[in-house]
Amino acid sequence: MIILGIDPGTRFCGYAIIKKENGSIFLLECDCLKLGAQKPMPERLYIFANRFEFLVKKWEVTDVSLETPFLGKNAQNFLKLGYVCGILYFLAQKYKINIHEFSPREVKLSITGSGGASKDQVSYILYKLFPRLQPGLRDDATDALAVSLCGVWANRMQRFLHQ
């Protein structure tokens, strides 16, 4: 199983790719795609789509884990995140990939045991789990890694429940 975890964004988009094999989890890639606030939205979406299609093919991704956007103070941002999610749904369908969605609260709860944990607390746990993780990553990248772990654990639970 190879999971692509994504913390979606229209300026910065965190992503992490992990592999689960024989009960172990390996980090393959973890970074942040910088889309640039100065570029028009269609150009950013094009860059986003190309990058994630490349990653899906390169790593032969089997599952996508996505942090669901929430409606904050700016409905326009929420709408733009919907465009990004639409691209991910399209890629998942095109490449026959399972897609899992988690709220920010679910991600924090599964990583730290508290749904109200801070980003620093989540990062701390991830750096303990993956000591070779590049120091100084943007929160978007570590959030994506947390989301990808949720995908692994959710998959394990689904298999357990369907036995």
Q: Which of 63, 101, 140, 143 is catalytic?
A: 140
| DSSP labels, 105-129 | HHHHHHHHS-TT--HHHHHHHHHHH
The 8-class DSSP code of residue 138 comes to -
Neighbours of 162 (CB within 10 A): 6
Closest by alpha carbon to 153, among 105, 106, 93, 85? 106
The helix (H) or strand (E) run that includes residue 13 is: strand 12-21
- Residue 37: phi and psi, rounded to 5, are -75, -20
The reply to whether 7 belongs to the active site is: yes
The reply to whether 140 belongs to the active site is: yes
Cα–Cα distance for residue pair 123/56, rounded to 1 Å: 25
Q: Which of 63, 67, 101, 143 is catalytic?
A: 67
Q: Which of 7, 63, 101, 143 is catalytic?
A: 7
The reply to whether 143 belongs to the active site is: no
Query: Annotated catalytic sites, by residue?
Result: 7, 67, 140
